[in-house]
Each structure stands twice: as C-alpha cells, then as structure tokens.
Structure 1
Amino acid sequence: MIPWLAVQQLLDSALPIGGFSHSFGLETAVQEGRIRNMLELEKYLGTMILQSWSTADAMVVKAVYETADGQDWKRLWHVERLVHLQRIGSETRSGVEKMGRRLLQLAVVIHPAIDWSPLQKAHESGECLATHPLVHGFICLRLGLSLEQAVQGYLYTCIVTGTGSALRLLSVGQTECQALITRLSPVIGQGWEIARELRPEDAYGNVPVSELYAARHETLYSRLFMS
C-alpha cells in the first residue's frame, strides 16, 4: 500500500478500534460543568496535548523507535508499563488496552505482509499490554514513518477522539469540531517539540484534573461512554 495512504487510514476517525466508546474523563468534565463550550474544550485539549499526551503517551511511541531496530524489547515493555500505570482511572487503563488490542488485530488483517510477531508474541505471553500508543508506534515504524510523523499522528488521533466525544456531549456540530481540530494543529507541533527532548523513561503527566475526571467517571449516574 502507498505509505501516505496507509497513514491516512490509520488516522481516520472511522477506524474501528472503539475510540467512539471512550471519552477518557471528558464526559465527567461536561456533566460537572467544567467544560461547557468549544472554548473550554479547546483549552482542555490543548493542555492535554502539551502536558499529558506528548509527555506520557508519546514516550511509548518514541520508545518503539528507539528500541525496535535493536530489538531491545525489555526496555520497550518497561516504558509501556511505566506510562500505563500512571493512569489512575481503571476505565481509562482498560480503554487504552482495548483500543490497542483492536488496532493490532486490525493491522494484522489489513497489512498481512508485515511481521507483527514481536508484538503479538509479547502480548500473548503477558510481556506487554499492547496499549494504543505502543501499537500505534509499532505500526508507524513498520509503515516507514518518521518518529516525528508517528508522534504527531498519535496526538492528532487523541484530538479527533476528544472532538468526537464532544459531538455527543455538547451542543456543537461537525463544522465546529473540524474547525477546532484545525486550530489545535499548531499545538500538535508544540507537543512534538516537547516529546523530542524527553527520554521515554522520563515520561510524566501533569494534568491531575483529567485523571480525577477519569476516576470519577465510573460513579456517574448516567453515562454515554465506557470511560
């Protein structure tokens, strides 16, 4: 498949990996009145890019690129768990694992010529969790993308997931969400600049309120999303 088209497929919001079922705490923020409009959503997603997704999740993507060629799998699985265990909400941890597993299953089917065995065997043996950022990074590497493209692509998918949730949680339309994605594109570039300077083992998250939203989600009286 043409590489750049394969990437478009990977970043498509319609990719059937279950992202539409998860808000990762955004539903809690809306129900509690913390996010009421597109301006507040933009600030929230921008903060997540710069202080969570680029400093934590992107480190797993980066670890793939730093370890896969040398097959330093032990280090890669360590970084994945280091990042994953920082997620406080059990629903969030479960959601990131489910999306990753589904993405891996999909990749095996649509790209059968690529060798996925290192990831498949490690997941089957329990060495890795096959979380979403890990599988995303692995796919991008196998498709020949640069690390910069892989990280920026992952940050983009996070934004798309967030705006997709907003469509069902706020009184907003498709056009407003697409405009928001465009406005946040420069922030993705800033997120990459942050990720570029960090070591994967230095991964951290600095948006505690999002973790609280995620943890409180399971106690909401009514819920549209699984997380």
Structure 2
Amino acid sequence: MLNYALLLDPSLPVGGFTRFNGLEKLSRNGHLNSLQDLEHYMLDDLYPQFTTVDGMAIKSLYVAIQQNDSWRIALIDKMLHTQRPSWQHVKEFRLSGQRLLKLAKALYPWLEFDQLESILIQYNAIGTLATVHTWINFLLGNDVEQTVHGYLSAAVSFCVEDAFKLLNPPYEEKNPLMERMTSELLSAWKKLNQPEPTASQRRFLHRHWSSSYITLPLYMSHNNQLDEPRLFPSSSLFKRLPASP
C-alpha cells in the first residue's frame, strides 16, 4: 500500500521517509558520499526513530482502534507529526496520508474510512502515513506485527531509493543493500519489542498525553489517563457489500 501511495505522486515525500529524513541535507553538507555513509546514518539515526517512535506508535494505534478510542488515535497521530524535524511540512504530511487514504478507498471500497476521517477533523489531526497505514491494515485483518513489518520495510525502501538518486551508485547494489538494511531494521524491532510491550506503549504515550497540541477529553481523569479506555458502543468498521445481482 505504501509503495502504491508513492506511485500516486513521486514528487511527494511519503511518510517522512524521503527528504524528511535529512538525506538531501546530508548530501549538501558533504556527509552523504557513499552507501557506507548511508548505512551508518540509517543505523545510527533513522532506525531508532523507526522502531521506538513509528513501530511503537503502530502498536498503540492498534490498541486504540480496538477500544474505539478516538482521542487516543488523534493523540498518537499528532505525536507522530511533532516528532518530525520541522513544522513547515504540515501540508505535505497531510497530503501523503490523504493520498494513501484515497488509494485505499479505490482498492477496498467495502471498508469503512468515514470514522477515521471524522476523528482527524474532530481533533484537527494530520493523518500521518503511519496512522492511515495502521487503520487500513486493521480493517484488512492484518495483525500488528504484519503492519509494523510492512511499514518498516517501506521505510527502508524509500530511504534507499532516495539515496540512490543522490549518490547514483551501481544499480546492482540496490537490492542487496535494501535486503540487508531491511533485515537489520526488523531485527532491531524484534529486540525492542521483546520485553513488556504494554509497558513500552504506556511509556510511549505518557510522554505526550499532556502536551498542549491536543485537548484532554472529559472522560479521562488525572489518575486514569492511560489505564482506563473510553467505552464506546460497538460499531462496525466495515461497510456492507452490495448484494450480488
């Protein structure tokens, strides 16, 4: 899905995977001159963000969607946006998520996306690519690990593609590099994801729940903001398929 989203507009930075990751700036400053430089940058700077921020956000989003907790979904989405290096790309972030959502509606017209769009409007959230990607995969019945793995693999793919445009190395080196870097990123995720994932998600949200960029809803008191999910009446996230003629 993420790769298809890139095809919708190749000039658009998708999900923060391209120039949001600083590859162009590194190249201009003379710090990205080889594939070895790229590997060091990805391992030291990008992978910690992809795992501890994006990966854990997707896990927390799964819990929030299962609990039908609109406020928490918006909170995670806004946190993902504010983790990026600059506020000047708000429009591009929003467009990237909208393009993925548009693609998903065309590919899966029987799935329900109105609820996600309502949440984004209600809380003035961005709709980052990670949020939209998670919502789509949840509706498709994919488990959280499949969703995280797909997101991380796409992140590596976009970064390597971007770097090859800047460095222009031999083309035959692309796939082996992509496979190696993907394997290393998934290994890093596996190590992070081992101990007490629930506690990790709780710490992840605790750093951001009181920030001023989203209003705390009335149902959450000071003492239960992370431990007591909002109770919504159950509702289907799937549209009914039209009857066969």
What is the TM-score of this pair, normalised by structure 1? 0.76
Taking structure 1 as reference, are residues 160 and 95 closer, same or farther at Cα in structure 2, changes over 3 Å only?
Answer: farther
Shift of 1:95: 3.3
Contact 1:60 1:83 (C-alpha < 8 Å) held by counterparts = yes
Taking structure 1 as reference, are residues 88 and 125 closer, same or farther at Cα in structure 2, changes over 3 Å only?
Answer: same
Measured on the aligned residues, the alpha-carbon RMSD in Å equals: 2.3
Amino acid aligned to 2:7: P
**Residue correspondence of structure 1 range 120-135 to structure 2 within 5 A:** 120-135=117-132
Could you tell me which residue of structure 1 aligns to residue 201 of structure 2?
199
Deviations 1:16-57 (A, max 9, x none): 354654322210101111111011111212234531111112
Taking structure 1 as reference, are residues 11 and 103 closer, same or farther at Cα in structure 2, changes over 3 Å only?
Answer: closer
Unpaired stretches in structure 2, ≥5 consecutive residues: 14-18, 208-245
Q: From 125, 146, 149, give the equivalent of 1:152.
A: 149
Amino acid aligned to 1:202: F
Is 1:12 the counterpart of 2:3? The answer is: yes
Shift of 1:200: 5.9
Deviations 1:126-169 (A, max 9, x none): 44311111001111111111111111111111111111111221
CA–CA distance in 1 between the matches of 2:72 and 2:103?
25
**Residue correspondence of structure 1 range 2-41 to structure 2 within 5 A:** 10-12=1-3, 15-18=6-9, 20-22=11-13, 23-24=19-20, 25-41=22-38
What is the TM-score of this pair, normalised by structure 2? 0.71
Deviations 1:107-130 (A, max 9, x none): 111110111111122233444311
Could you tell me which residue of structure 1 aligns to residue 242 of structure 2?
none
Larger Cα-atom Rg? 2
Could you tell me which residue of structure 2 aligns to residue 222 of structure 1?
none
Contact 1:61 1:138 (C-alpha < 8 Å) held by counterparts = no
Contact 1:65 1:147 (C-alpha < 8 Å) held by counterparts = yes
**Residue correspondence of structure 1 range 51-200 to structure 2 within 5 A:** 51-193=48-190, 194-195=192-193, 197=197, 198-199=200-201
SS in 1 for 2:7: coil
CA–CA distance in 1 between the matches of 2:99 and 2:188?
26
Unpaired stretches in structure 1, ≥5 consecutive residues: 1-9, 205-227
Deviations 1:177-202 (A, max 9, x none): 21111111222222322256331651
% identical equivalent positions: 25
Which region of structure 1 is more displaced relative to structure 2, 173-182 or 150-159?
173-182
Q: Which has the higher helix share?
A: 1
CA–CA distance in 2 between the matches of 1:164 and 1:112?
31
CA–CA distance in 1 between the matches of 2:178 and 2:166?
17
CA–CA distance in 1 between the matches of 2:98 and 2:85?
20
Taking structure 1 as reference, are residues 93 and 162 closer, same or farther at Cα in structure 2, changes over 3 Å only?
Answer: farther
